[in-house]
Amino acid sequence: MKLPEIIPVTDLRQDAAGILKKLKDSAGPLVVTQRGRAIAVIQSVGAYERAEHERQLLRQLAAGERDIAAGAGSSLDDVLKEADALLDGGDA
What is the pTM for the complete model shown? 0.61
Measure Cα distances from 25 to 29, 34, 70, 83 in Å: 11, 24, 45, 29
Measure Cα distances from 50 to 39, 70, 79 in Å: 23, 30, 21
Tell me the C-alpha distance between 72 and 63, whole Å: 11
Instruction: For 2-23, write each residue's pLDDT tens digit.
Output: 778 999 999 999 999 999 998 8
What was the pLDDT predicted at 26?
A: 81
Cβ–Cβ < 8 Å for 83, 90: no
| 43 confidence band (pLDDT: 50, 70, 90) | very high
Task: Find the angle CA(52)-CA(56)-CA(62) to the nearest 5 degrees.
Answer: 140
